[in-house]
Amino acid sequence: MEEGHFENLPGKGKPLDLGTNPHADPAEDTLYRILSRNKCAPEWVELNKEIRSNIAEWRLALQRALAHKEGGNNSKWGECSEALKMQLRSINNKVFRYNLIVPFGRQMFGLNWEKELDHLNEKKIDC
């Protein structure tokens, strides 16, 4: 670079053409371009947004349920925890479906009940 070998490249000083992805499958690239022009997103993008929103809501509900447990209301905790476990399965089913349709390398992990409880308990210890 210091010797100036890259100074005379074609297109020097001009903006890059980001309309196409040279590394993508041409059919996929065309599909994504059509979706983008029509202000639509691929299914996996929309599903990712939905999953992240569901996870955020679920974690808030888990925090509220834990407050019942800490307050000594074990019957309410038991009721809430069963509902939360059902929601957890639903979220994990969406994650599984997402992982089947997302491009390679963008997969996500599902939620684990015990790890989520441990994470909340660790946050309480840190405060």
- Give the per-residue pLDDT at 23: 78
| Interior angle at CA 16, CA 12 and CA 18, nearest 5 | 165
Residues 26, 46: Cα–Cα separation, whole Å: 22
- Give the per-residue pLDDT at 93: 98
How much is the average pLDDT of 40-58?
94
Amino acid present at 81: S
Ranges of H-type helices in the chain: 26-37, 43-70, 74-101, 113-126
- Give the per-residue pLDDT at 81: 93
Q: Which residues contact 66 (CB under 8 A, 6 or more apart)?
A: 77, 117, 120
List C-alpha distances in Å: 107 to 31, 52, 72, 123: 21, 13, 39, 26
| pLDDT tens column, 19-39 | 777 777 888 888 878 888 888
The answer, as to whether pTM is greater than 0.75, is no
Amino acid present at 27: A
Asked whether the predicted pLDDT for residue 83 surpasses 60, the reply is yes
How much is the average pLDDT of 99-104?
93
- Give the per-residue pLDDT at 89: 98
